[in-house]
Amino acid sequence: MHGLKLNAFEAAMLLTFMAQTFLVSSIQNCDDNSPVTKTKYGEARGTIMKSRKGKLFAAFKGLPYAEPPIGELRFRAPKEIVKWSGIRNATEEPPVCIQQDFLFNRSPTVEGSEDCLYINVYSPKQFCRPRKIAKLVPVLVFIHYGAFIAGDSRSDIIGPEYLMDNDVVVVTFNYRLGVMGFLSTYDDEAPGNWAFKDQVAALKWIQNNILFFGGNKKKITIAGQSAGAGSVHHHVLSPSSKGLFQSAITMSGTALGLWAKPATNENFIVTNITALSVGCNRSDTKSMVECLRNVPAIDLVNAVNVFRQFLKSEPLMPYSPAIEQKSEKNPEPFITEDPINIIRKGNFHNVPWIIGVVSNEGILRGAPFVRQEDLLDKINSDFDTIKSLIGLSLSIDPSKVDWLWSHVKDFYFNSENTINSTNSITGLVNLYSDRAFLYPAYQTIKLHKRMGHKHIFVYNFDYKGKYSYGDLFAATPNEVDYEWGVSHCDDLLYLLYSPGRFSKYQLPDLDLKVSEYMVSLFLNFITYRDPTPKQLFGEKQLWEELPDEQLYLNEEDFHFLDISGSFEKGFYHVNITNGFYTPRMKFWENKPLLENKYFNNLTSIK
């Protein structure tokens, strides 16, 4: 038999054909309820789900992406899993990572398991059909919210049904939380950032396995909300994540938020207090960590109660990201310097990026502070409590904290010292919005653009639908006479199906239209790297990226997509506008904050 000679084009076509044929044969034994797929580690049997519009798709839940981080693997980087034999059952929700969920509960119990590093993959149904050559589709990887202390990937919380009306693979997963995800000794014994390293392990698993599910590993978008969004930004900055994704979406969170930035000395202090609270020797970090590895998980998670300083609703988030040192024992650190320095050096992954916020992010904490009577009494009896709750001491020289607080009170509360009016509630919500979410987003956008980041799209979500996470964050049936706005997490209601959060959950017609619009924007971005691409919209693009090659992004050039309206009032609008909360952003921009020191006369430090 003579050797077959192919030119470059023919060889490429043959390889494509072989890959696609391999894809089709990878999901085997499909029937109406139980598709089977290969993975790098073994075979797995999933189940069939229906999208919002009735399209069938395959769901593989609870696939392990790393060895259980228990025993000697606690406080260590995730370890690659070993192959399994037989067909693994992938039809049930995985266990959540061990946690106390203070976001939606006043006095939460410890729930979940240390054995929790599992991934869920949702694949279009047509990939189950044998002998049909199919095109690889884009992949959306969604990283769950939860303030780094709570949350999970269950399909009734972050369900894929809205997205799966389309040809896309959706992936969700769990990652370690709280003390298990972030405890650090600032040395090689426990360098920290376990949660982020779990996420990197999940992204590597996706690179190695997504072909089996019909996904294109060269078209991966990572997305997240709140803590998930902060995580996504850290991946944009970390060399550990290089090549693992091609575009990013951050909803209400960036790595410049005070809650997402790596701490300095505070982490080691927190670790020492944790060790003391569970009876571990603190004479040296090696023996301390060895002891902590043997403490029952429930006791370690309960140790967060040592740090609670505001009644039962506002625990501190003591376990935070850490700056690591590269060493022989820690060869792949996730964060090695302050995020602002990474950006100033231009050492970020310059990928297309959607950055979004909602209009009343601060309802996250404003709702419980106002609607829970004991918390409101606490604030009104000592109004300066707010000063510590918003972390002013983290942003300015200690000698200037009171000076800054007096300016904050004047600007947000008109110098009032109680929360007892519509204006004061609005001031509280706006203050928390700006400190935790809006100003960090504003800084992130301006700094990345100034350092040459291309293809950034910004949105503001101000549509008030039938459902709202604000009622869940309040954690009380008690009402107050106040018209609450669009809460932190509310934009998620239109992208991910969440019947586990709301009873009798079904979007009314207007909310459904908003949802279909949001899904279409995100699917366009996942597919084309542009939410309103010229391939579909021609020259009449609605949502354009921010301009390039400007040292300073002026307010008139700071344009964004604004989605507004009200279910009760029966309308929604979509507009391009500019001026991103300008008076409030200028208030913080003009103060001598530590996070502002690089924004005046900014130069690259390459």
**Which residues lie closer than 8 Å to 9 by C-beta, 6 or more apart?**
none
From the candidates 235, 448, 488, 559, which is the catalytic residue?
A: 488
Distance between terminal CA atoms of the chain? 59
With residue 41 as reference, give the H or E element that holds it.
Answer: none
Local structure of residue 434 (DSSP, 8 states): I
332 is a catalytic site residue: no
Reduce the DSSP state of residue 236 to 3 states and report it.
Answer: helix
Q: Which residues pair with 464 in a beta bridge?
A: 566
User: 259 with 390: CB under 8 angstroms?
Assistant: no
Residues ≥6 apart with Cβ < 8 Å to 244: 200, 203, 204, 206, 207, 220, 222, 235
Q: Of 51, 226, 238, 240, which one is the catalytic site residue?
A: 226
Residue of 324, 361, 545, 595 with catalytic role: 361
The rounded distance, in Å, linking the Cα atoms of 376 and 413 is 15
Find tokens 């075979």 and name the residue: 43
SS in 3 state form for 501-551?
CCCCCCCCHHHHHHHHHHHHHHHHHHHHCCCCCHHHHCCCCCCCCCCCCCC
Residue 407 annotated as catalytic: no
Run of H or E including 35: none
Q: Give the closest residue to 48 by CA, choosing from 161, 207, 157.
A: 161
CA distances from 592 to 308, 424, 446, 564 (A): 29, 25, 18, 34
The pair of structure tokens assigned to 338 is: 């302050």
Give the CA distances from residue 156 to residues 249, 496, 497, in Å, rounded to whole numbers and listed in that order. Answer: 22, 9, 7
**448 in active site:** no
What is the phi-psi region of residue 346: left when phi exceeds 0, alpha when psi lies from -120 to 50, beta otherwise?
left
Amino acid at 56: L
Contacts 24+ apart (CB under 8 A), 44-49: 44/87, 44/88, 44/89, 44/90, 45/87, 45/88, 45/89, 45/90, 45/91, 46/90, 46/91, 47/90, 47/91, 48/125, 49/122, 49/155, 49/160, 49/161, 49/164
- Residues in a beta bridge with 560: 577
The catalytic residue positions are 226, 361, 488
